[in-house]
Structures are given as C-alpha cells and as structure tokens.
Amino acid sequence: FTQRELLAGAGVPMPAYRVAVNATEVESAAAEIGLPVILKPTVGGGSSGVRLCRNVDELAEHTAYLLGGKHIRVPSPTQRKWQSSPRILVEEFAQGPHYLADIMGDQIIGIGTADFGPPPHFVYRESTIPAPLTDDEHERIADVSLSCLRALGLDWGPTGIECKWTTRGPVVIEVNPRLHGTPTAQLVQAAYGVDLITAHIKLAIGHECDLRRRHSYIAGAR
C-alpha cells in the first residue's frame, strides 16, 4: 500500500486501488472500483493470497480467508505484526499482457513477458525474454519503469518491475528492489550473456559490474 501511495503521488500509471481492514470496507471498495477486482494482502510474496474475485460470493470468501491470515505459512516478525491487524488491497483487475523489466541501477537490462495459469489464482507458468514489443511499446515500458525508480528512491542494485499493457498502456503491478525470481536471471543470461547474479555480488562488495550484452538471442522457460 505504501508503494502504491508513493507511485500514485509521482503520477505513475497503476490500477485503481483501495485499502480495507474489514469485510464491509472490502465490499465498499469493490463496489467503487467495479467487479472483477484483485484481492491481495498488504504484506506477503510469491502471489500468496492474491486472487481474482469475479462476483460477491468470491469476494466474501476470499476476504474471510485473508482476514483469517490462513495464507501465511511461516510468519516472519513483519507478517506476525500484519496478522494481528490485517489489511487488504482491493485493486482493479488490469487486463492485458504481463511484462517484466529487469533493471540494474538505472539501466534496463531487458524486458520479458510472463504468462500465468488459469484464474482466479496467479501462478507463473512461462516467461520469455525479450518480449515481442515494438520500439514504441518498449520505450513506454522503459519510461514507466524508470519513473518508478525515481518515485521510490531506488538508484542502486537490481530492481524487478512488473506491469500489464492495458487499454491505457503500461500500468505498474509491483516494484521489487531485488532480482526477479527464478528463472528470470537465467533467461537474461541465456538471451544476452549478462550475469545479473554475479553483477549484484560485485556491486555488493564494491566492484564494478559488467552489464554489456554479449549476444542477442531469445530465451524461454515453462
């Protein structure tokens, strides 16, 4: 939620969103945004607890699930704190192709595409790099991604940004100040010959990292 607020303040395009602390607020937010909506916890990872709710029954069911904290498998101190006072993000369902921007510092290394299994859940199924984009589409995703870095004060190391291309163009789903999960780094290395993991280690120990592309192939994982 804090990230959403900072990005919105900087004018970064995003899905409409509200934060809710109980079932009544979730229902009200969904009515304002319009079904279907995405419900997700304000703390978590790996798409745990993220679900598409297409009607009021699914909305009520998943709200109860999140408020009960059942999606948290091994609570960290942060998650335990959240669990005692749960909050839910209610978001517009941004529809369109899903893209991943891999960034080191302020340099965009590559933009890939990702696909998910069937709704209502969001489980990664496959990804390809580079994404089949026109020059204009690539530039617009790059511009939005760099605006996220400025809004969040991210100017060092790896960042993974996810967006969807909607009728409004690219809208930001999330920004992670880290490498994307497996197998994105391996795909970047296979496609461009850039080793993001080694580059990150070199930065961490004060060395210069080499981000030059050695080749330009297409890499995919499923």
Domain ranges of the chain: 2-92, 98-221
* 98-221 maps to CATH 1.10.510.10: no
The C-alpha atoms of residue 162 and residue 180 are separated, in whole angstroms, by 9
pLDDT at 70 > cutoff 90: no
| 75/73 Cα distance (integer angstroms) | 6
Residue 82 pLDDT:
47
Give the predicted TM-score (pTM) of the model.
0.90
- What is the fold of 2-92? Dna Ligase; domain 1 (3.30.1490)
Which residue type, as a one-letter code, is found at position 96?
Answer: G
Residues forming the active site: 178
Alpha-carbon torsion 14, 149, 3, 73, what sign? positive
Least confident of 61-75, 84-98, 103-117: 61-75
